[in-house]
Copies of this chain bind each other. A is one copy, B any other.
Amino acid sequence: MADRAAIVGAGLAGSLLALFLARRGHRVEVFERRGDPRAIGCEEGRSINLGLSARGIRALRLAGLWERVRAVSVPMRGRMVHPPSGPPFFQPYGRDPGQILYSIRRDALSSILIDQAEKQPDVRFFFDAQVSGIDRESPALTVSGRGRVEADFVVGADGVSSLVRRAVPGGVRTDVLEWGYKELHLPETDRPQALHVWPGEGALMVAHPNLDGSLTCTAFLPHDVIAALPGCRAIEAFFDRVLPGARELVPDLAGQFAAAPAGQLTTVRATSWHHADRLVLVGDACHAVYPFYGQGMNSSLEDCVVLEECLARHPGDRLAAFADYQRLRKPHTDVLADLSADNFLELRDRLRSPLHLARKHADVVLNRLFPRHWQPLYTMISHTTMPYGQALRRARRQDAVLRAAAGAGLLAGAALVMRGRAART
């Protein structure tokens, strides 16, 4: 008899994995505490749209869903930067036409994944079904309104505050960033289809386009600043200072800002991704990252591909499959967590450092000269499916070359100076 899998959470990872597991002949039940996204659309207070890139796209291709998803997403061919002063400018992601991000609504993507999973014979989704307890030994779930549900194994696809993670014995490191975010809505515009970035002094705004031409903006700023902005006047004054121009863009910015819930940005690193052959974690449940590399969902979808490959490699031995999955995957998502945290610092501080900009520029120039051999880290992370750890190692090698080149340049310069001196004496 096929193994029964109980998946907690019908988010992006849970829904895709339901499909993959069903294809492998498992009987799958998915329990989701929210309502059916096909009926209710997007939940308040969650990021409404997301940037899909190479890794997520690959996973959707393997699920046979990429064309359907692409049809309802908006391509973003580059970054539109809106500096505090001066006109906006466009940075294409790359000359390679494949280097495109796609902006997709969370509920649209979920709906496609759930629809497809439900077409498999042995998959059932239960909505408004909160899991409140986990018996890690049976294993079994306690589900609101349904009582005890047994299974052969449980998948924790229940996101950043995962309950299943708490049932997996082991350690966990959690970082809540001192910056939070609020989502704002910009109605239809004639702005280009790009990822918009407003780098500010002590704040940062990003926007993804929607199919109807509107933009969903996310304003990132320190929690203590958010807390100290109770009135509309204070909010307006703040935006005028740190993000001049934002008020002209976002209608009733202060009202929207005051009404929006403040979101937290969290990094989670779980030490153990599985308990024996009975519990296993995917997505944000085991490795939530800050959104500053746009990789949270992409890496979560990639997890499902790796887990499915591991199950295929060890038929009949779930423990070996789960152990292999953690061994193969965790080192890379650990790198991603670090990179995402670094990118926060970069967006916040370094974008203004001339040395950093010079290095970035060299990166871009070298990439133009040697497109095959020289790839900026951002390109490898976002536009390839090379494992994260490997991308980082390659970037480090490239960096060493750049530094050596810079060092050699300095030495050559010094040599000239010395020669000049020697000639003069």
Q: Which residues of A contact B (CB under 8 A)?
A: 136-137, 169-180, 222-224, 226-228, 230, 271-272, 275-276
Given contacts A178-B271, A271-B178, A272-B178, contact A227 B169 (CB under 8 A): yes
* Chain B, residue nearest A271 (CB): B178
Among residues of B, the one whose C-beta sits closest to the C-beta of A267 is B173
Separation of A299 and B230 alpha carbons in the complex (Å): 35
Contacting residues, chain B, for A275 (C-beta < 8 A): 224, 227
B177 touches A223 (CB 8 A): no
Q: Please state if A175 and B173 are interface contacts (CB–CB under 8 Å).
A: yes
* Pair B173/A173 contact, Cβ less than 8 Å: yes
A170 with B178, Cβ < 8 A, contacts A136-B227, A275-B227 known:
yes
Residues of B near A224 (CB, < 8 A) are: 169-170, 272, 275
Q: How long is the Cα–Cα vector from A250 to B160 in the complex, in angstroms?
A: 40
- Shortest CB-to-CB span from A406 to chain B, Å, is 31
Give the residues in chain B near A169, CB-CB below 8 Å.
180, 222-224, 226-228
By beta carbon, the residue of chain B nearest A136 is B227
Q: How far is the CB of A238 from chain B (nearest CB, A)?
A: 14
- When the two chains form their complex, are residues B272 and A170 in contact, meaning their CB atoms are under 8 A apart? no
Return 23 A-B CB contacts under 8 Å, by A number: A137-B230, A169-B180, A169-B223, A169-B224, A169-B226, A169-B228, A171-B175, A171-B176, A171-B178, A171-B179, A171-B223, A172-B174, A172-B175, A172-B176, A173-B173, A173-B175, A173-B176, A174-B174, A174-B175, A174-B176, A178-B272, A224-B272, A228-B276
Distance in angstroms between the alpha carbons of A137 and B226 in the assembled complex: 13
In the assembly, what is the distance between CA of A180 and CA of B166, in Å? Answer: 13
B-chain residues with CB within 8 Å of residue A230 when the two chains form the complex: 137
Taking a contact as CB atoms under 8 Å apart, the answer to whether B223 and A170 are in contact is yes
The CA of A223 and the CA of B169, in the complex, are separated in Å by 5
Bound form: Cα–Cα A180–B275 in Å: 16
Are B173 and A174 in touch, CB under 8 angstroms? yes
Which of A175, A180, A226, A230: most chain B CB closer than 10 A?
A: A175
A228 to B172, CA, bound (A): 19
Question: How far is B271's CA from A179's CA once the two chains are assembled, in angstroms?
Answer: 11
Residues of B contacting A227 with CB < 8 Å?
A: 136, 169, 275
Bound state CA distance, A171 and B230, in angstroms? 20
- Closest CB in chain B relative to A70 CB, distance in Å: 37
> Separation in Å of the A222 CB from the closest CB of chain B?
7
A326, chain B: closest CB distance, angstroms:
12
Q: Which 9 A-B pairs have the closest CB atoms?
A: A171-B178, A169-B223, A169-B227, A169-B224, A174-B174, A178-B271, A173-B175, A172-B176, A170-B178
Bound complex: CA A272 to CA B173 (Å): 18
The interface residues of chain B lying within 8 Å CB-to-CB of A223 are 169-171
Complex alpha-carbon distance, A176 and B174, angstroms:
8
Additional pairs, 8, CB under 8 Å, beyond known A170-B224, A172-B174, A173-B173? A169-B222, A169-B223, A170-B222, A171-B178, A172-B175, A173-B175, A174-B174, A174-B176
- Residues of B within 8 Å of A137, CB to CB, are 230
**Chain B residue nearest in CB terms to A272:** B224
Which chain B residues lie closer than 8 Å to A172 at the CB level? 174-176
**A172, A180, A230, A275 pick with most chain B CB within 10 angstroms:** A172
State in angstroms the CA–CA spacing of A169 and B181 once bound together.
12
CA distance A88 to B361 in the complex (A): 65
